[in-house]
Amino acid sequence: AQRVTQPEKLLSVFKGAPVELKCNYSYSGSPELFWYVQYSRQRLQLLLRHISRESIKGFTADLNKGETSFHLKKPFAQEEDSAMYYCASRPMNRDDKIIFGKGTRLHILP
């Protein structure tokens, strides 16, 4: 069965320091991987997906098939990055349901 694991419930990082949110997945096929973000009092929104290979708001994530990881990184944290981050996966049938991890709350300290 598909599973997405985010080992950290809470990550506190000082402003300007690097950020890394960890995510591991288990799936027998070739899933599509995502990071979703939920800012305070806002709805869940897509941050980035592995197939796009893009940087959004300074965040990047590289799919490592050998380690089945999709960690989210940003070199210099900003206060507005404080939010709940969810790693998620979906089979390559792109209309299928999304499987979410439990989420990591990122708290940027001033």
Partner 1 sequence: DTGVSQNPRHKITKRGQNVTFRCDPISEHNRLYWYRQTLGQGPEFLTYFQNEAQLEKSRLLSDRFSAERPKGSFSTLEIQRTEQGDSAMYLCASSGGTGGHEQFFGPGTRLTVL
Residues that bind partner 1 (CB under 8 A): 4, 9, 43-46, 86, 88, 94-103
CA distance 110 to 93: 42
> Which CB sits closer to partner 1, 4 or 13?
4
Please say whether the beta carbons of 40 and 60 come within 8 A.
no
The least distance separating partner 1 from the CB of residue 15, rounded to whole angstroms, comes to: 26
The least distance separating partner 1 from the CB of residue 43, rounded to whole angstroms, comes to: 5
> Which CB sits closer to partner 1, 80 or 95?
95
The least distance separating partner 1 from the CB of residue 42, rounded to whole angstroms, comes to: 8
Residue found under tokens 């940087």: 55
| Residue 80 three-state SS | helix
> Which CB sits closer to partner 1, 26 or 45?
45
Q: Which residues contact 32 (CB under 8 A, 6 or more apart)?
A: 49, 50, 51, 89, 90, 91, 92, 94
